[in-house]
Each structure stands twice: as C-alpha cells, then as structure tokens.
Amino acid sequence: MLRSLFSSAVLLGALLAGSSAAQAENRLALVIGESAYRAVPSLPNPANDARAVTKLLADSGFEVTTAADLSQRELNQKIGDFTAEIAAKGPDTVALVFYAGHGLQIDGENYLVPVDVDPKREADIPLQAVRLNDVLNTLNSVPTKSRILLLDACRNNPFPTLNGTVGRGFALVDTKTGAPGTFLSYSTSPGAEAEDGQGSDSPYTTALLTAARTPGLPIEQAFKQVRVAVNKATGGRQTPWESSSLTEDFKFVAASGPLTANAAPMPPAPNAAKRTVDQWKRDLQGKPAEVAHEMVVTDGTLEAYQAFDQMFTQSQFAAEVREWIVRQRKMLAWNEAVTINTAASYRAFLAQYPDTDLSLTARTLIERLRFKPSPLPQVAALGPCTAPSAPTAPTLLKKADVAPAIVSPPPVVTKKVEVSPPREYDPPVRTTHREIYVDGPVNRGPPIQPIYHPMGIGFHGGMMGRPMGFPGRRF
C-alpha cells in the first residue's frame, strides 16, 4: 500500500514538473481518431487511441483539441482552425498532431483517409482524401518552435478495388528536406502496413503511452523505445519509423530530478556523423543475437541493419532484418524517382525493382509523362520600369541605328535638312525647338528632359509623356 502511494506521488510530481516546464512554451495539440468509416468496415482502435493520447498530452501540458470520424471537409477545416490557433499563440509554440486511421500512398504521395471516402478508382483518392504534404505545408505556414506529427495511419488498404494499383503503406518523407523544426513518426516503416492490434489500443499507441510518460526523456529517445516495443509486440512484423529536423529539445514530461543510472542517455548531437557498416560490425561483435537485434532496431539506420545482416545470417531475426533492408532500399529508390519525376527516373526504378507493389504505379507515371506538355522556352524576365536616381540627358540615335552605344562623339555634320517655312494656317513655331540633321541631332534651347512612363522613357516634345490625343512635335 505504501509502495503504491509512493509510486503515485512520484508520478504526480513528474507530471506537475512537466506541466510547469510546459508553461515556458505554448503547447497545442490536435488529436484525430477515424474509426467509423462508411464505405468499408470500421476500425475499432483509432477512437480508443485518440482518447488515450488526448489524456497523455493533456497531462503533459498541451491544450488538446480532439476530433473523431471527420469527413474530408471537416478534416481540412480542423487543420485550418488548428493552424489559426497556433498563429494566435505565437512562434514560441510546440504544435502536435496525432492521427489514427487509414492512410494510403498514391503516385508517391501520402494521404490521410477521412471516413466519407468511397473511391471507385485510384484517381478518386486525391479528390476525396487529404494529402499529408498539404497538412505539413499548412503547419509550416505559421512560425512555431516545433511541429510534431504522429501518424498511426499505415493500416492495411481497406479498398479492394485499389489493392492492385497502389503501393503498400506510406511513402517515405524526409523532414530534413523541408522546414527545420519538424518531427514525423509513422507507426511502421515506409512501404509496410501497421496492425490495428488486439487490445484496446494499437501496438504503436500502446508503446507511445509508456515511453512518453518517462520523465526527462527526449522525444528522439522516446521513439527509439517505441520502435523496440512495437517490434517485439508484433514479432518483427511492424517497426515504427521517424524522421526529425528538430532544432529545439522536446520532452513530453520534464525531468523531476537528476537522471538516474537507468535513465536513457541523451541523443547524439544533430550533426554527429552516422556510423558506418564496419563501425556497427565492431559494435555488434561478440553480442548475442537478441542484444544485437535490439541495438539495430533502436538505431533504425540502414547501416546498422546491414551490419546485423552480415554478422547474424543464421539467427532467428535474419529474415526480418533482410526484409527490412530490401523494403528500405526500395523506398529510398522510389523516393528518389518521385523526387526527380521523369520517365528516366521511373525506368531506373523499374530496372532495379521490376516486380513490386510500386511497379504498376511507376509504369503509369511513365505513360502519363508522355502527354506532359513540353516546357515553354525561357524568356528573360523584364524588371519594373524605375527611374534612375540621377537622370541625365540621353544620347539620341537615329531611328535606323541599331549598333552598340556610341562611345566617341558623332562626326561634325555639314549637310542640313531644310525645314519649310510656316504657312499662314500653320501654328506659330515654338521658341524652344530642335532641328534634325541627317547624321546627328543638334539641340537648341534647354536640354531635353526625360519623362519616365510605365511603358518606357519618353521626352518632352515627343509622343511619350503627352496626354492622349495631344499632337506630337512636327519635324
């Protein structure tokens, strides 16, 4: 009894410490659970996941907005309203979005699937679902301290008509190529499917609820623990994946005191170089297969998995590790092809992976690019017409003269064009005038002043700068 009371007091103290730490920054969260799908069987766990994560985040100092079973219009509206709340709070805000429900990739793009989606063909998904990049771009449109997206959304494709034409799971997204300050977590690795789970929560959410409540644990370390826990709970069938470009430290619950010996170490510096395969092989040397496997799953890099694959070829984890390596390489190659987005890039992907779940999509995109219009030739952009700071009288050239600017003064002119004397009905000759010579101008009277007009530069006495209908100077 006393031990139970003591444990409760320690946990309460840690949560209070986390709340006090959160007061130094604004924390806003949007939690979405999509369970009651209308065109396909419902998912039981997303609603439970959303309720559990809402409590976790509220205990961690977040102001939480929870929404369930949203249509496409409602989901877009929630994202827009949430972004407006972030903007109102100011740039010192940690913004977190948790989504549980179905998710798909179409043509290399990831989509969150609202409950009102009813696609008859692959092309219906972009029209009926919500593109993940649009959510990211909307959150990036306002200044924030950090943006955290947790997506328990890679469950099996529920639409039979699309099963043969779309890739499995989510496509890879690298947050390091976008705005800094973003942490993105998938419930399973790119190209794989997540499990809904047999309990009240999904394996991913179950592991998150435990790791995030550890006092003083940085978010990167928390999700290393999530990765290992989900991998063990699913027998290696599911391994979460994340990408981070965070520039600020974040903990769900602040440390209640000095870190103990059992506390997880701080993550390496962001600029720390990744270990090579050979370095990993030295680290794994002499370790039991179970220990080595947990080490590489915790790290989650391709180099760590490759080292394990080379050293533990006969272990019980060999097939799982090899499958992960093949899938990760495929998704990296697919991400490169989609980023380049040319027929040559998709052909290069098919040369490596001619018969995978993404092969049909690659061939479709190659065919689609055949009808892509050729880009227009580049035309030099015209800058705005602005007057120079100190205008000077320009050098007047003959109308037919297209040679480069004259460096030396024009030659002396001897032949003059006679100007007919005015007749009685002609208007009187103005006192300020100029006479035009065959080989060059001679100005009389005040110098001709330039007029800066939106359509170009004109001069007193010419058509430019005169009101519409005013006759020009007769020469």
Q: Please tell me the chain's helix, strand, coil percentages from 3-state DSSP, rounded to the nearest 5.
A: 35, 15, 50
In a domain, 223, yes or no: yes
pLDDT exceeds 60 at position 196: yes
Confidence of residue 14 (pLDDT cuts 50, 70, 90): very low
In a domain, 53, yes or no: yes
Could you tell me the residue range of the domain that residue 362 belongs to?
A: 276-373
* 369 and 388 co-located in one domain: no
Mean pLDDT of 334-359: 93
- CATH number, position 201: 3.40.50.1460
Q: Is 101 left (phi over 0), alpha (psi -120 to 50) or beta?
A: left
To the question of pTM greater than 0.85 for the whole model, the response is no
Residue 464 burial by Cβ neighbours in a 10 Å radius (0-12, 13-18, 19+): middle
* 238 and 307 co-located in one domain: no
In a domain, 265, yes or no: no
In a domain, 2, yes or no: no
pLDDT exceeds 80 at position 332: yes
In a domain, 123, yes or no: yes
Whole-angstrom Cα distance, residue 277 to residue 252?
Answer: 33
* 96 and 217 co-located in one domain: yes
In a domain, 242, yes or no: yes
Whole-angstrom Cα distance, residue 475 to residue 465?
Answer: 18
Mean pLDDT of the chain: 79
Amino acid at 350: L
**CB contact burial 382-399 (16+ within 10 A = b; e otherwise):** eeeeeeeeeeeeeeeeee
pLDDT exceeds 60 at position 468: no
Query: Of the candidates 342, 373, 404, which is a domain's last residue?
Result: 373
CA distances from 437 to 118, 428, 432 (A): 80, 22, 17
CB-based contacts of 304, cutoff 8 Å, min separation 6: 275, 280, 295, 296
In a domain, 365, yes or no: yes
* 234 and 341 co-located in one domain: no
Name the maximum alpha-carbon separation found in the chain. 123
CB-based contacts of 262, cutoff 8 Å, min separation 6: none
What is the per-residue pLDDT across 426-452, written as a single tens digit (0 to 9) for each? Answer: 455 454 444 444 444 444 455 555 554
Whole-angstrom Cα distance, residue 289 to residue 315?
Answer: 7
Query: Of the candidates 373, 403, 420, which is a domain's last residue?
Result: 373
pLDDT exceeds 60 at position 386: no
pLDDT exceeds 90 at position 147: yes
In a domain, 264, yes or no: no
Whole-angstrom Cα distance, residue 150 to residue 153?
Answer: 9
* 287 and 413 co-located in one domain: no
* 302 and 443 co-located in one domain: no
> Which pair of structure tokens corresponds to residue 175?
């947050």
Helix residue ranges, H only, 218-340: 219-233, 277-284, 289-299, 302-311, 318-340
> Which pair of structure tokens corresponds to residue 154?
């890679």
Amino acid at 119: P
Q: How many domains does the chain have?
A: 3
Stronger pLDDT, 108 or 411, i.e. the higher one: 108
Mean pLDDT of 365-386: 66
CA distances from 468 to 62, 290, 416 (A): 65, 88, 32
What is the per-residue pLDDT across 85-118, written as a single tens digit (0 to 9) for each? Answer: 999 999 999 999 999 999 999 988 999 999 999 9
* 325 and 447 co-located in one domain: no
Mean pLDDT of 169-184: 85
* 369 and 407 co-located in one domain: no
* 287 and 243 co-located in one domain: no
* 197 and 61 co-located in one domain: yes
Query: Of the candidates 258, 291, 310, which is a domain's last residue?
Result: 258
* 213 and 296 co-located in one domain: no
